[in-house]
Chain A
Amino acid sequence: MARYVLSRLLQAVPTLLLISFLTFIMGFLAPGDPIRMILGERSDPQAVAAVRRELGLDQPWHVQYGRFVWNAVKGDFGISLYNRRPVGDILQESFPATATLAVLAIALAIVVGIPAGVVAAVWHNRLPDRLSMAGVVLGISVPNFVLATLLILLVSVRLGWLPVAGWGAPEYLVLPVLVLAARPSASIARFTRTSMLEVLQQDYIRTARAKGVPEHLVILKHALPNAVLPVVTVVGNAFGYLLTGSFIVETVFAVPGVGYRSIEAILRRDYPVIQATTLLFAFLFIVVNLVVDVLYTRLDPRVRFGRKA
């Protein structure tokens, strides 16, 4: 177990290095002189040179890259070129909103997706199945920003039930969470259905039915626990989607989260902020997927690490 976790951790290192290198290059290639951006265009050349030396920007690129990685590990991402605030502070302020939305959305997706998948499998090829599969097609095909704008149009503008956009009170959470949960719900439902259909064909289910176990217990106690196990892996993927979905959803609903800050920074060419948000998202994505994989091997005794079953 420990060896498995360790090897997975080691596998994550090159990915993180690649991402950190890409983000570093971005700052390096960025047009404009960051020091003049900080000090102002018409500043004393000597002062510029001094700050350049102080920030280490006169060093060769590999030294700068090493420093960049080391600072990032310590949580120091420099200061924003736009408002000169420490980027670490900006991340700390914006992270809770993104995390709240992601956690609520994943919870909603599980609560909707698993029952929908089970119902579809149990009533295979009948009305409930067709209805939930139609829902899955919509969930996968309608882009999240389209869903978001249409919901605002219908629920907020036409019906006036919820605020159009904003942050700070529970009613602001409803629409963003709904939009974020749509696609993960669909993929969880589809996966649960496939997995459940497979399990329902196995011998032990036939045995249970033969010995007279009531059908609802066969489904809930015998089939469901085994069918749900692989769904854990989908949840990991869904989380990656939630992180990137936050770019759109936070922009549309004006949620002051990491995704919103990140898009804002891209449009302002505020490179330290772009670097920090990208690294944060990459790190979270890798960590969550690691946790999901480890959890899966713990939950399913058939999965053994080290050797192939």
Chain B
Amino acid sequence: MWAQWRQHPLALAALVYLSLLTVVALLAPIIAPYRYDAQDSTAILQPPSIRHPLGTDELGRDVFSRLVYGARVSLTVVVQVELLEVLIGVTLGLLAGYFRGRWDSLIMRFTDMMFAFPDILLAILIVAILGPGLHNVFIALALTGWPSMARVVRSQVLALREREFVEAARATGLGHGRILWRHILPGLLPTIIVAVTVDSAGIVLAESALSFLGLGAQPPLPSWGRMIDDARQLMRSHPTLLVYPALMLSFTVMALNFLGDGLRDLWDPRHRKR
């Protein structure tokens, strides 16, 4: 395993970065020296100092603390969306691929329809119906994201259900539920993990884009997208306010892409890099 990881130094670096980011997000209240909404009118737009490692913003809020809580916002959305997506997508993909028949064609018809439409447009439409807010962004992204998960899982199930070990399980008289749960689902794990990783990059992007447009996280909650939007007004005098969240966001998306590519190479020989 380790030898294989060394073949993919970028994926390894990405894994380390994302693990650190997760720890930071989980321990945000401990790591951040201030609360994300703590304003200090005596210290507005301060340069970096010992008290404020990355300075303060236009309301005197500590930029470092806001970045830390921003990681928490991003990861919360990713985890929530992926949980729901995996729940819906894997269940429907399993059922469609295993039982085939009418349900299969119905589900595939529906995912075809969803694919014929750009995800982010649908997400924006759903947010428009439900109203702006982080919670509605989470619902919109989960609703638009599950079809691709269902697709990937279904095609993998189609291959697995023909394998000998599944046939053997069936021959010993196991019920469908047990075969699905004990024999097919474990074989799907690599596929699901790769799909979740690659998809997470899109979720981080979409959440920050919607927050940037004012449709996602509402003030004073610090989403990186929101921070970039706020910083645009002060771009001339305080460009660093813009640069910090921009870097965090780009690094995180890049890391998720690298990790996804790396995992795919590790687990799926057909996709091996040339």
- List A contacts of B200 (CB < 8 A): none
Given the contacts A140-B257, A157-B235, A266-B215, A145 and B209 also touching, CB distance less than 8 Å? yes
State the CA gap A282–B115 with chains docked (Å): 12
Q: How many residues of B contact A (CB 8 A)?
A: 41
User: Is A26 in the interface zone, CB < 8 Å from B?
Assistant: yes
| B222-257 contacts to A (CB < 8 Å) | 225, 228, 231-232, 235-236, 239, 242-243, 246, 249-250, 253-254, 257
User: Is B51 in the interface zone, CB < 8 Å from A?
Assistant: no
State the CA gap A141–B118 with chains docked (Å): 18
- List A contacts of B112 (CB < 8 A): 11
Decide: B242 and A149 in contact? CB cutoff 8 A.
yes
Given the contacts A137-B254, A267-B214, A157 and B116 also touching, CB distance less than 8 Å? no
Q: Which residue of A lies closest to B126 (CB)?
A: A22
- List A contacts of B117 (CB < 8 A): 15, 19, 282, 285-286
Given the contacts A18-B113, A149-B242, A240-B118, A143 and B205 also touching, CB distance less than 8 Å? yes
Q: Mark A242-279, 1 if CB is under 8 A from B, else 0.
A: 01100110011000000000110011000000100010
> Which of B26-34, B127-135, B168-176 interfaces with chain A?
B127-135
Given the contacts A25-B129, A240-B118, A263-B213, A143 and B253 also touching, CB distance less than 8 Å? yes
Q: How many residues of A contact B (CB 8 A)?
A: 45
Decide: B116 and A15 in contact? CB cutoff 8 A.
yes
Decide: B120 and A244 in contact? CB cutoff 8 A.
yes
State the CA gap A152–B201 with chains docked (Å): 25
Decide: B246 and A150 in contact? CB cutoff 8 A.
yes
- List B contacts of A25 (CB < 8 A): 129
Q: Mark B114-149, 1 if CB is under 8 A from A, else 0.
A: 001110111011111100100000000000000000
Given the contacts A153-B242, A241-B118, A247-B213, A143 and B208 also touching, CB distance less than 8 Å? yes
User: Is B17 in the interface zone, CB < 8 Å from A?
Assistant: no
What distance in Å separates the Cβ of A114 from its nearest Cβ neighbour in chain B? 20
User: Is B274 in the interface zone, CB < 8 Å from A?
Assistant: yes
User: Is A289 in the interface zone, CB < 8 Å from B?
Assistant: yes
State the CA gap A144–B205 with chains docked (Å): 9
Decide: A145 and B129 in contact? CB cutoff 8 A.
no
Decide: A197 and B118 in contact? CB cutoff 8 A.
no
State the CA gap A26–B128 with chains docked (Å): 8
